[in-house]
């Protein structure tokens, strides 16, 4: 009962407000912060005090009984504790600050892209006057963090396999520094923003010098991290507590199934323009699939009608969730920059609530490659999830992304979307093609994604527990020859920054797939609605709701 006599409830109510405010101000891991946050102008970098603060928060939290904080606080309590344990474990046991430079350069690149977005919106007069302070503080925060990184890590250790990926991040950060930060300084030399950007550019130059002249001279990290340490780290960040060996076995089984599924989806499109091949060996299967992907990548499947694409996605989303919001979409491309991924702030940092700005992550020259990009990144993909999570809470769970929830919900949404009863949808054309044709192609592209993810999982775990060369593992299990250079680099980056994203993505989605198979009394729509009603929840909470516990 949440009453004045409940000491733990009252303590946690105060605690969660304190932690939320601290996290907005000091934590570099805040992922869903919008420009209208009341703490956007108070961001500070706290260097060594960061871990000390985390430990203090954990001690305070352990003095509060989770069973007495009230049902509405259970998720917030659990999320905060998981976050604290993970961050402290990274510092104490994994010791990323002694060797994992890639982990930090990934963060620096994300933050640089974030600042680039803010500069863009500032140029377009889409930031109000008081928002400029937010941009200034973000520049200071990144400058201080790079400087602290250089002081704390430059005399420590390098690590096998990271050199190539580090070089790419250095190049990407320098692209942003030269083409956006420096350009802003030249165009507006006497502003406070330009002075702060000059300091940031100097820090980036120092970071580049450190990598080019000092990194390769560092000794390799001498303390190999044990398999037990990796497993504990995984169990801290994952809602699935299986052993790595069991996860690999499951991924291998699904890999074969996904290969067969991809072929079955491709064959009808292949036969539209080709005779059925005379099957002699596995190379004929590869030929069918590669021919279909050449067709998909041709101009007939390239679509630039952004409004029609977005409208079709919103209509389908509203069938399930009464998703009544209507957005306009603008896909931005920046030439000569290495903007390789979508960020939450690309969706949010604009003045108009009903407008979505997105930097294209497509590595081709097409302005908008196809319908699948929208499916995966906008609605019902990343943007839909970011938007819903942020607007459903006013505590820690609205700014900290639970990857288990995110990946599982996104997987379910995409499957529902791609397998929706076509009779529920009014026929329409997208860029001259009937919508059902796009659904067929989207299923192919989604299955390709699943295959790449499975190869990623297998290569990651075999590297972590057996130290097997990921490049050889990727080549071995890419039997259909779908992993091009871009996908190969994506897998290697995922492996070598040790965030375990691919493994969490697989285990969370697999957990729910097994749940659907085991629980005959629930279907996709019911499970999706449970996710929708419990934003950012851990999967054990979702499972309990399914089981009516």
Between the CA of residue 188 and those of 113, 182, 192, 257, 510, what are the distances in Å?
Answer: 20, 10, 9, 57, 52
The Cα 325–Cα 118 span in angstroms is 24
In a domain, 406, yes or no: no
Q: Are residues 139 and 54 in the same domain?
A: no
Residue 145 in any domain: the answer is yes
Cis upstream peptide for 471 (omega within 30°): no
The last residue of one of the domains, among 187, 222, 257, is 222
Domain that holds residue 2: 1-95
Q: Cα 166 from chain centroid? A: 19
Q: Are residues 109 and 178 in the same domain?
A: yes
Percent of the chain with pLDDT over 70: 75
pLDDT at 352 over 50: no
- pLDDT value at residue 334: 42
pLDDT the model gives residue 184:
93
Question: How far is Cα 402 from Cα 385, in angstroms, rounded to an integer?
Answer: 11
Under 8 Å between Cβ of 249 and 274:
no
Regarding whether 218 and 108 lie in a shared domain, the answer is: yes
pLDDT of 393 > 70? The answer is: no
Q: Is the pLDDT of residue 98 over 70?
A: yes
The answer on pLDDT for 181 being more than 70 is: yes
Q: Are residues 36 and 108 in the same domain?
A: no
Looking at residue 133, what DSSP letter applies?
H
143 and 86: one domain?
no
| The predicted structure's pLDDT at residue 367 | 37
- Mark whether 108 and 78 lie in a shared domain: no
Q: What is the pLDDT at residue 517?
A: 82
pLDDT at 394 over 60: yes
Average pLDDT, the chain: 80
pLDDT in tens, 515-540: 888 777 777 888 888 888 888 888 88
- Please determine, for residue 472, whether its predicted confidence score (pLDDT) is greater than 50: yes
Residues in Cβ contact with 342 at an 8 Å cutoff, skipping those fewer than 6 apart: 358, 359, 361, 377, 382
Whole-angstrom CA distances from 533 to 222, 388, 418, 547 are 47, 10, 22, 15
Q: Which residues share a beta bridge with 332?
A: 359
32 pLDDT above the threshold of 50: no
Whole-number Å distance between alpha carbons of 21 and 312: 39
Looking at residues 384-403, what average pLDDT do you find?
A: 74
pLDDT value, residue 541: 85
Q: Does one domain contain both 31 and 114?
A: no
Model confidence at 58: pLDDT above 80:
yes
**128: left (phi > 0), else alpha (psi -120 to 50), else beta?**
beta
Nearest to 527 by CA among 382, 415, 440, 383: 415
pLDDT at 533: 84
Distance CA 414, CA 412 (A): 6
Give yes or no: residues 151 and 195 share one domain: yes
pLDDT for 23 equals 82
Q: Is 331 among the domain residues?
A: no
Mean pLDDT value across residues 207-216? 91
The residue among 71, 95, 119 that closes a domain is: 95
| Residue 439 confidence (pLDDT) above 60 | yes
In a domain, 11, yes or no: yes
Give backbone dihedrals phi and psi of 430, rounded to 5 degrees, phi first: -120, 110
Model confidence pLDDT, tens digit, residues 124-163: 665 555 567 778 888 998 999 999 999 887 667 887 778 8
Residues 215 and 117 in one domain: yes
Residue 316 CB partners (closer than 8 Å, separation 6+):
380, 417, 420, 425
Residue 492, domain member (yes or no): no
What's the chain's Rg over C-alpha atoms? Answer: 24
- pLDDT classification of 514: cutoffs 50, 70, 90: confident
Residue bearing the bigger pLDDT, 217 or 307? 217
> Does one domain contain both 24 and 127?
no
Q: Are 208 and 109 in contact (CB under 8 A)?
A: no
Indicate if 82 and 118 belong to the same structural domain: no
Report pLDDT for 325.
57
> What's the domain count of the chain?
2
- Predicted local confidence at residue 356, as pLDDT: 53
Whether 108 contacts 173, CB under 8 Å: yes
* pLDDT at 335 (0 to 100): 40
pLDDT band at 397 (very low <50, low <70, confident <90, very high): low
pLDDT digits 0-9 by tens, 279-337: 888 899 999 999 998 887 776 666 656 566 666 666 666 666 665 555 555 555 444 33
C-alpha count within 13 angstroms, C-beta hemisphere, residue 462: 20
Quote the Cα angle for 55-59-62, to 5°.
Answer: 135
Q: How many CB atoms lie within 10 A of CB 18?
A: 12
Residues 535, 400: Cα–Cα separation, whole Å? 11
Within-domain flag for 142: yes
Single out the residue in 95, 112, 128 at which a domain terminates: 95
User: What's the rounded Cα separation, in Å, for the pair 460 and 473?
Assistant: 9
Domain contains 112: yes
Residue 39 has pLDDT above 50, yes or no: no
Is residue 115 located within the same domain as residue 208? yes
Residue 321 resides in a domain: no
Contact 99, 221 (CB under 8 A): yes
Question: CA triplet 463, 491, 450: central angle to 5 degrees?
Answer: 105
């Amino acid at each position: 009962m949440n009453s004045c006599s409940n000491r733990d409830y009252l303590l946690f109510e105060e605690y969660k407000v304190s932690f939320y405010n601290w996290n907005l101000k000091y934590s570099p891991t805040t992922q869903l912060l919008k420009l209208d946050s009341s703490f956007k102008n108070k961001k500070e970098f706290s260097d060594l005090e960061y871990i000390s603060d985390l430990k203090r928060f954990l001690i305070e939290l352990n003095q509060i009984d989770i069973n007495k904080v009230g049902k509405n606080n259970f998720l917030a309590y659990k999320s905060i504790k998981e976050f604290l344990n993970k961050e402290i474990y990274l510092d104490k046991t994994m010791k990323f600050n002694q060797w994992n430079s890639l982990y930090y350069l990934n963060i620096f690149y994300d933050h640089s892209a974030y600042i680039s977005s803010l500069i863009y919106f500032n140029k377009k007069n889409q930031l109000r006057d008081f928002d400029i302070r937010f941009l200034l503080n973000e520049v200071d925060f990144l400058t201080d963090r790079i400087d602290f990184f250089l002081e704390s890590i430059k005399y420590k250790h390098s690590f096998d396999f990271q050199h190539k990926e580090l070089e790419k991040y250095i190049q990407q950060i320098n692209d942003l520094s030269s083409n956006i930060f420096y350009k802003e300084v030249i165009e507006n030399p006497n502003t406070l923003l330009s002075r702060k950007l000059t300091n940031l550019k100097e820090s980036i130059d120092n970071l580049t010098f450190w990598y080019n002249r000092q990194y390769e001279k560092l000794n390799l990290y001498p303390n190999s991290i044990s398999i037990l340490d990796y497993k504990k780290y995984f169990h801290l960040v994952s809602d699935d507590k299986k052993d790595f060996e069991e996860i690999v076995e499951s991924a291998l089984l699904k890999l074969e199934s996904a290969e067969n599924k991809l072929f079955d989806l491709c064959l009808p499109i292949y036969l539209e323009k080709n005779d059925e091949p005379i099957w002699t060996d596995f190379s004929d299967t590869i030929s069918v699939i590669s021919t279909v992907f050449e067709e998909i990548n041709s101009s007939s499947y390239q679509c630039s009608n952004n409004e029609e694409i977005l409208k079709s996605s919103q209509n389908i989303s509203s069938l399930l969730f009464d998703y009544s919001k209507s957005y306009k979409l603008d896909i931005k491309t920046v030439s000569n920059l290495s903007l390789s991924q979508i960020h939450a702030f690309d969706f949010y940092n604009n003045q108009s609530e009903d407008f979505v700005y997105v930097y294209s992550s497509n590595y081709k020259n097409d302005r908008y490659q196809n319908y699948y990009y929208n499916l995966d990144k906008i609605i019902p993909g990343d943007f839909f999830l970011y938007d819903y999570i942020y607007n459903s809470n006013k505590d820690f769970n609205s700014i900290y992304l639970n990857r288990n929830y995110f990946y599982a919900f996104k997987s379910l949404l995409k499957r529902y979307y791609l397998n929706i009863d076509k009779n529920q949808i009014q026929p329409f054309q997208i860029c001259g093609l009937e919508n059902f044709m796009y659904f067929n192609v989207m299923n192919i592209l989604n299955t390709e994604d699943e295959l790449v993810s499975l190869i990623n999982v297998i290569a990651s775990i075999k590297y972590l527990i057996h130290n097997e060369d990921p490049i050889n593992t990727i080549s071995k299990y890419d039997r259909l020859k779908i992993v091009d250079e871009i996908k190969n680099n994506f897998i290697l980056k995922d492996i070598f920054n040790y965030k375990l994203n691919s493994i969490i993505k697989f285990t969370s989605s697999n957990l729910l797939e097994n749940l659907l198979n085991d629980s005959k009394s629930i279907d996709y729509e019911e499970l999706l609605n449970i996710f929708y009603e419990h934003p950012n929840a851990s999967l054990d909470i979702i499972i309990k709701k399914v089981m009516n516990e």
